[in-house]
Amino acid sequence: MKITWLGHASFRIEIAGAVLLVDPWLEGNPGFPDEHRAAAIAGATHILLTHGHFDHTSEVDAIAKDTGAVVVGIPELCGIFSAHETLDFNKGGTVDLAGAHVSMVPASHSSSVGSTYAGTEAGYMIKGEGHMIYVSGDTDIMADMDWMGDFYNPDIGILCCGGHYTMGMVGAAYAAKRYFNFKTVIPSHYQTFPLLAQTAQPLVDALPEVDVKTPAVMVTIEI
């Protein structure tokens, strides 16, 4: 399995037979070097969306057109991108994406594309290659994490932690310790804007028994 941070809340996950682009925002992303765009999207099979905000969906049309990747997410959001091939499902559902089994779970945030309602926000549990990855999407701490951690038992957490628009470093660490039993945590949704946390060191310090990885953009983690 390979996980590559593309800056902000965007990730490339190569798992089973799938190449998943999670909330890919490249052009205009202050953390992403434009010269790496081709490598970031190469071979993409699916675009996995957590919600509709611009920093998660503004490049869906361009990337889907360039790669032919299937747009995957909640029905209302997929409907906005119906010019491309889509696969919609909802919370509680699981889809097989080229051997990666992806389940949609709750998040606590908001979701729109401009002024258009885009369904409700979501997170994902991604199962494959002997691992379960929890992609939190944009969220605060929530009681649903209790049953999610118990039912899915993810060993890898990709957790938003930048604060202001999502839970911050302290909140993400609290959620990780109270609700989950992660072996690996990768921070997300930080460094991008001045309003957000600029370092994940507080998360690293708060989770001494967890392997908190803070890779540079386009540096691949292999698990």
Q: Which amino acid is at 163?
A: G
- Selection from 61, 24, 16, 56 nearest residue 42 by Cα: 24
pLDDT for position 153: 98
Write out pLDDT tens, residues 101-151.
999 999 999 999 999 999 999 999 999 999 999 999 999 999 999 999 999
Total-model pTM: 0.97
pLDDT in tens, 1-13: 999 999 999 999 9
Taking all residues of the chain, what is their mean pLDDT, rounded to a whole number?
Answer: 97
**Residues 28-46, mean pLDDT to the nearest whole number:** 96
Predicted confidence (pLDDT) per residue in 206-218, tens digit: 999 999 999 999 9
Burial of residue 142 (CB within 10 Å: 0-12, 13-18, 19+) is middle
Which pLDDT tens digit goes with each residue over 177-190?
999 999 999 999 99
Average pLDDT over every residue of 151-158? 98
The pLDDT assigned to 33 comes to: 93
Secondary structure (3-state) at 52: coil
Query: All domains of the chain, ordered by start, with CATH?
Result: 2-218 (3.60.15.10)
Percent of the chain at pLDDT > 90 equals: 100
What pLDDT, on a 0 to 100 scale, did the predictor assign at position 47? 98
3-state secondary structure of 80: helix
**Pairing between β-strand 18-22 and β-strand 46-48 as defined by DSSP bridges:** parallel
Mean pLDDT, residues 41-51 taken together? 98
